[in-house]
Amino acid sequence: MADERVYSAPGDVIEATQPVVLVNRYRGFTRINHWITAGCMIVLLLSGFSLFHPSLFWLTSLFGGGQTTRWLHPLVGLLLFASFFLLFVQMWKLNLPRREDMEWSLRIGDVLKGHEERLPELGKYNAGQKMVFWSMSGLIVVLIITGIMIWEQYFASLVSIPVRRVALAVHALAALAAILVFIAHVYAAIWTRGTIRAMTRGTVTGGWAYRHHRKWLRELARRRGTGPAE
């Protein structure tokens, strides 16, 4: 029977089970929070497109018609803001810029070619992931502010009609930018094998952690006294 050792730590955990080492990357609460946010993005993408142009109005049938879509879209927008805020509280410190992020960015060619041995050791997130995080943070703030400004059912007297028109244009542009960032995030998760596992099972293999986020793995191991004191 294989020897199993479990090292407990607040938040992050290393489970060493011969011959596989598993690193606990996300708690169950964080994973649920993440998937609620992702679900909101998809609903907002489809409902937003359906209201954007008459040629896309047929998409409202996914939500029970135009009237349902009209009240559903802003309510899901509020849910997105609340859900992402919880993610922000949990992750903002880990997404602060670090010295190695600049070197990683300058070696983006090696990243795309898979030459990770030429890259600096990284913490829990790389510069690309941090860019997605901060981009979505800013865009969601813009979307919630402009969304309230154009929500005529409850805030018709909040701003003048000319200001509402500008807010509508800004809202549409911010939504487009958020969709592009969202697509890039999904593509990167699929492209980097083993990444999706972190948000479905909560764990990654030790090999994945060592290859992509070695500094984070060393910090975690050193914190529990299970790795080399380098």
Output the CA–CA distances (angstroms, integers) from residue 226 to 5, 11, 123, in the order listed: 11, 16, 18
Residue % of the chain over a pLDDT of 70: 89
d(CA 165, CA 192): 41
How far is the first Cα of the chain from the last one, in angstroms, to the nearest whole number? 32
Predicted TM-score (pTM) of the model is 0.84
185 is catalytic: yes
> What is the pLDDT averaged over residues 91-100?
94
- The pLDDT of residue 30: 96
Which tokens is 158 given? 């909040």
Which pLDDT band, with edges at 50, 70 and 90, does 148 fall under? very high
pLDDT of residue 185 exceeding 70, the answer is yes
- The pLDDT of residue 2: 42
- The pLDDT of residue 16: 54
Most confident among 32-36, 107-111, 188-192 (mean pLDDT): 32-36
Catalytic residue, from 34, 171, 185, 213: name it: 185
With vertex at residue 181, the alpha carbon angle to CA 28 and CA 106, rounded to the nearest 5 degrees, is: 100
d(CA 129, CA 152): 36
Output 60 or 224, whichever has higher pLDDT. 60
d(CA 141, CA 206): 36
Q: How many CB atoms lie within 10 A of CB 37?
A: 21
> What is the pLDDT averaged over residues 213-228?
77
- The pLDDT of residue 197: 92
DSSP, residue by residue, 130-144: HHHHHHHHHHHHHHH
d(CA 221, CA 1): 25
Question: Which residues, in sequence order, are CB contacts of 105 under 8 Å at separation 6+?
Answer: 127
- The pLDDT of residue 14: 59
Answer yes or no: CATH 3.40.50.280 is held by domain 26-201: no
pLDDT digits (tens, 9 = 90+) for 103-126: 988 888 877 777 777 888 899 999
Residue type, 229: A
pLDDT of residue 9 exceeding 90, the answer is no
What is the domain partition of the chain in residue ranges? Answer: 26-201
The mean pLDDT value of the chain amounts to 88
H or E element at residue 4? strand 4-7
